[in-house]
Amino acid sequence: MMLDPLNLAGSAIFLLFAMAFLAMFLTGRQRLLNTLSFIAAAAASLAATAAGVWVVGSNIAIQAVMSIGLPDLPFHLRLDPLAGFFMTVVGLLSFIVSVYSLGYVKGIARQRPITRLVIFYALFLAGMFMVILADDALFFLISWEVMAAASYFLVFFEDERVENRRASFLYMVVAHVGAIAILLSFGVMSGLATGFEGFHGYTFDAMRQAQFPSAWATAAFLLAFVGFGAKAGVIPLHVWLPEAHPVAPSNVSALMSGVMLKTAIYGIVRVTFDLIRVFPWWWGTVVLVFGLISAVMGVLYALMQHDLKRLLAYHSVENIGIILIGIGLAMIFRSFNFPLLAALALTAGLYHTLNHAIFKGLLFMGAGSVLHATGERNMEEMGGLIRYMPWTAALFLVGCIAISGLPPFNGFVSEWLTFQAFLLSPSLPSPLMKLLIPMGAALLALTAALAAACFVKAFGVTFLGHWRGHHTPHIHEADWFMRVGMIMAAALCLCFGILPTLVIDWMDTVSGQLVGTRIGESAGAFGWMWLTPVARERASYSGPLVFLVTLSVIVIAYLLLHVRAGSIKRVPLWDCGFEKVTPRMQYTATAFSMPIRRIFGFLFSIREQVRLNPQAPHRAFPRRMHYYLRIRDRFWNWLYKPIVDISFWISRTAGRLQQGRIQAYLIYSFVTIIVLLIFMR
């Protein structure tokens, strides 16, 4: 057997399945199981990453047909640059998280058996790799379900808590509604590819060669967008995400948020750019508008959270929005036949996909370390962790800066590229687009600024100040496996931030495959130090120089100021002359976001009550104060509650048929047979 990328990726999947199988026999030896399975997962992820990097770098497409599954319906596999890129994204974060899990799951193993976690972790990874490799609708949907089911069981892992069971049920429902939409979309496409009589339209190749009538193509696109959007957490289909991600074990949250959502992005890109290929401009506008809504609303909802993992989950909604902005712009540019601009926007979107995987993985791993050390997810009970967990704090800070879109880390580069794509929209022929698209840029700027505010809050409340909890904590730093995992992610954040030209040069084959033009030549025209997306006169950014100049100014200032050894005196906190300052006087997460809550309050349903204890001698001197604040997602009331109510109503009404008397059921069968005899003659 020759070693080619497809074999490499295939053996990674095989290894994961083998591990899931083997795990069943190792239940008695939990520590061995932990070590063995996560080393295997790391190795498999590394192999998949290598396959992805290889395919994208050498710009090849490898296909294979596996005759397993149903008779006459073999599975088709294909690894092309687009699949290779997502393979790399998934593989890279899976590798990092698997290393992290070696330490993290050891902590879980002390409390409960981990066999279930290990099996479904392996299946989850295998499912994601299979989704990316699939080249026909059947195999795609089977893999999609493997991924969804495995992640359901992972969310369900700590099932003794009600919220976990609720969250995983909600996740399952939304995932299946999405899967139905995807199934229908593929059904439309494959039916039109070969006619509804034959079966052979189910391969992606057949869909690629087909010409779709525009109405049916639109139907297929909208169904696919709904289906994949439900998985990606596009607003308003996001409700499951802030429920399911926080309750899963943190290494799984990192994977779900970092890469599982990306398979949905992969699906959207695959269906639009590769399978349907020709589309009108308004499809791009749909994607762009939903991207903008998700970005702004996602970050605003995130600001209102005080559960660290829930906050991060809402930020996934925001970042999926930013990715969709790039992809939507690419679709608009492509439909107006501006291949270079489409390539730029697509690169921006895909680069953010890669970046988000890395920094969101890092942040969830950091949140996992905090959870592991303190047993606490509520930020209001934390504080001052930077003294107990210096490593986690510094690495979490890297993630915070990266996700806020600030230089020199990677989040900035992709947001910068998206801004550049926005600013090129005046070359579009439609005046409406010219006018409206720059407004989108303002919304993206708002998103980035609010994200920075949110992460000042998240980092400041969790890691800075004093411990807010009631009892003094016994907090320990994360162990070395966890640290190494986070260090790798943080190092990648920096590398992708200061060396974007190398990454873009590598991933350029993807835009070559999808829009027919590359931006690598112009983007790296002035050497690896300079990122010049269109032309040097248009815009340029040099990550290495910005980083080095700032660093050298800092170092020079530091050295100059330390020539004369000025002493630093440590004194107690300045307390304004009062007796003592207590940790409860610090700003809390709720207090921090209060101005923003007031400004953007109309977007939430907020209930705020302040009750004073009536026994106080005077209103101005309350003995006790009771503050109640509840912030809810408006979408839940607008969209989901009616559906839930209606389905309950229907089932209640239908339930009346259920009498529990055999005579009634016999009458039902009799009536049914009569009706059938009448109509089905």
Partner 1 sequence: MNVYPFISEILQIAIVLGIAPAFIGWVRMLKCWSQGRTSAGLLQPYRDISKLFAKDVVLAENASWIFRFTPYLVFGTTVLAGGIIPMLSIDLPLSATADVIVLVALFAIARFFTALAGMDIGTAFGGMGSSREMTIASLAEPAMLMAIFTISLAARSTSLSQIVQVIYSGQSVLRPSLAFAFLAFVLISLAETGRIPVDNPATHLELTMIHEAMILEYSGRHLALIEWAGMMKLFLFMSLGAVLFFPWGIDATGSAVGVVLAFVFLLLKLAVSGVILVLIETGLAKMRLFRLTEFLGSAFLMATLGMLAYYILD
Enumerate residues 589-618 that contact partner 1 by CB under 8 A. 591-596, 598-599
Q: Do residues 271 and 221 lie in contact, with contact meaning Cβ atoms separated by under 8 Å?
A: yes
What track of x and - describes contact with partner 1 for positions 329 through 368 (by CB under 8 A)? ----------------------------------------
Residues 6 or more apart whose CB falls under 8 angstroms from that of 47 comprise 8, 9, 11, 12, 15, 91
**Considering the complex, what minimum distance in angstroms separates the CB of residue 404 from partner 1?**
7
Interface residues for partner 1 in 443-462 (CB under 8 A)? 443, 445-446, 448-450, 452-453, 455-457, 459-461
Q: Which region among 93-101, 335-343, 385-393, 515-523 touches partner 1 (by CB under 8 A)?
A: 385-393
**Considering the complex, what minimum distance in angstroms separates the CB of residue 567 from partner 1?**
6
Residue type, 492: L
Residue type, 680: M
**Considering the complex, what minimum distance in angstroms separates the CB of residue 500 from partner 1?**
12
626 binds partner 1 (CB under 8 A): no
Q: Which region among 70-78, 158-166, 380-388, 648-656 touches partner 1 (by CB under 8 A)?
A: 380-388
Q: Which region among 21-29, 116-124, 373-381, 539-547 touches partner 1 (by CB under 8 A)?
A: 539-547
Secondary element (H or E) of residue 612: strand 605-612
**Considering the complex, what minimum distance in angstroms separates the CB of residue 596 from partner 1?**
5
333-343 core/surface letters (b: 16 or more CB in 10 A; e: else):
bbbbebbbbbb
Q: Do residues 137 and 190 lie in contact, with contact meaning Cβ atoms separated by under 8 Å?
A: yes
Rounded CA-CA distance 550/558 in Å is 12
**Considering the complex, what minimum distance in angstroms separates the CB of residue 265 from partner 1?**
24
**Considering the complex, what minimum distance in angstroms separates the CB of residue 302 from partner 1?**
13
Distance between first and last Cα of the chain = 59
- Please, which residue, 109 or 596, has the CB nearer to partner 1? 596
Residues 6 or more apart whose CB falls under 8 angstroms from that of 418 comprise 322, 325, 326, 329, 345, 348, 349, 352, 444
What track of x and - describes contact with partner 1 for positions 481 through 520 (by CB under 8 A)? ----------------------------------------
**Considering the complex, what minimum distance in angstroms separates the CB of residue 496 from partner 1?**
16
Q: Which two tokens stand for residue 598?
A: 């007031």
Choosing from 349, 384, 497, 520, the residue that interacts with partner 1 (CB under 8 A) is 384
Q: CA neighbours within 13 Å on the CB side: how many for 27?
A: 7
387 binds partner 1 (CB under 8 A): yes
- Please, which residue, 602 or 679, has the CB nearer to partner 1? 602
**Considering the complex, what minimum distance in angstroms separates the CB of residue 12 from partner 1?**
38
568 binds partner 1 (CB under 8 A): yes
Interface residues for partner 1 in 404-443 (CB under 8 A)? 404-407, 412, 416, 419-420, 422-423, 426, 431, 434-435, 438-439, 441-443
Q: Which region among 195-203, 266-274, 347-355, 397-405 touches partner 1 (by CB under 8 A)?
A: 397-405
Nearest 5 degrees, angle CA 490-CA 495-CA 501? 150
Interface residues for partner 1 in 250-279 (CB under 8 A)? none
Residue type, 51: A
Choosing from 1, 70, 561, 654, the residue that interacts with partner 1 (CB under 8 A) is 561
What track of x and - describes contact with partner 1 for positions 150 through 189 (by CB under 8 A)? ----------------------------------------
Q: Which region among 249-257, 320-328, 381-389, 486-494 touches partner 1 (by CB under 8 A)?
A: 381-389
Secondary element (H or E) of residue 16: helix 5-23
Choosing from 165, 208, 277, 466, the residue that interacts with partner 1 (CB under 8 A) is 466
**Considering the complex, what minimum distance in angstroms separates the CB of residue 491 from partner 1?**
19
What track of x and - describes contact with partner 1 for positions 571 through 590 (by CB under 8 A)? xxxx------x-x-xxx---
Choosing from 37, 94, 316, 542, the residue that interacts with partner 1 (CB under 8 A) is 542
Q: Which region among 150-158, 365-373, 464-472, 512-520 touches partner 1 (by CB under 8 A)?
A: 464-472
Q: Do residues 239 and 174 lie in contact, with contact meaning Cβ atoms separated by under 8 Å?
A: yes
Q: Which two tokens stand for residue 418?
A: 């998206």
How big is the chain, counted in residues? 681
Residues 6 or more apart whose CB falls under 8 angstroms from that of 228 comprise 178, 182, 264, 265, 267, 268, 271
Residue type, 206: A
**Considering the complex, what minimum distance in angstroms separates the CB of residue 394 from partner 1?**
8
Rounded CA-CA distance 520/511 in Å is 10
- Please, which residue, 87 or 478, has the CB nearer to partner 1? 478
Secondary element (H or E) of residue 56: helix 30-58
**Considering the complex, what minimum distance in angstroms separates the CB of residue 612 from partner 1?**
21
**Considering the complex, what minimum distance in angstroms separates the CB of residue 603 from partner 1?**
14
Question: Which residues partner with 612 through β-bridges?
Answer: 625
**Considering the complex, what minimum distance in angstroms separates the CB of residue 407 from partner 1?**
5
Choosing from 546, 603, 629, 639, the residue that interacts with partner 1 (CB under 8 A) is 546
539 binds partner 1 (CB under 8 A): yes
- Please, which residue, 230 or 362, has the CB nearer to partner 1? 362
State the SS3 of 434-494: HHHHHHHHHHHHHHHHHHHHHHHHHHHHHHCCCCCCCCCCCCCCCCHHHHHHHHHHHHHHH
- Please, which residue, 189 or 444, has the CB nearer to partner 1? 444
Interface residues for partner 1 in 88-147 (CB under 8 A)? none
570 binds partner 1 (CB under 8 A): yes
540 binds partner 1 (CB under 8 A): yes
- Please, which residue, 426 or 642, has the CB nearer to partner 1? 426
Choosing from 3, 24, 65, 553, the residue that interacts with partner 1 (CB under 8 A) is 553
Residues 6 or more apart whose CB falls under 8 angstroms from that of 298 comprise 235, 238, 314, 315, 316, 317, 318, 319, 320, 321
375-391 core/surface letters (b: 16 or more CB in 10 A; e: else):
ebbebbbbbbbbebbeb
Give the CA distances from residue 207 to residues 66, 189, 276, 504, 541, in Å, rounded to whole numbers and listed in that order.
Answer: 19, 6, 7, 29, 40
Number of other CB atoms surrounding residue 660 within 10 Å: 6
Q: Which two tokens stand for residue 40?
A: 């295997």
**Considering the complex, what minimum distance in angstroms separates the CB of residue 544 from partner 1?**
9
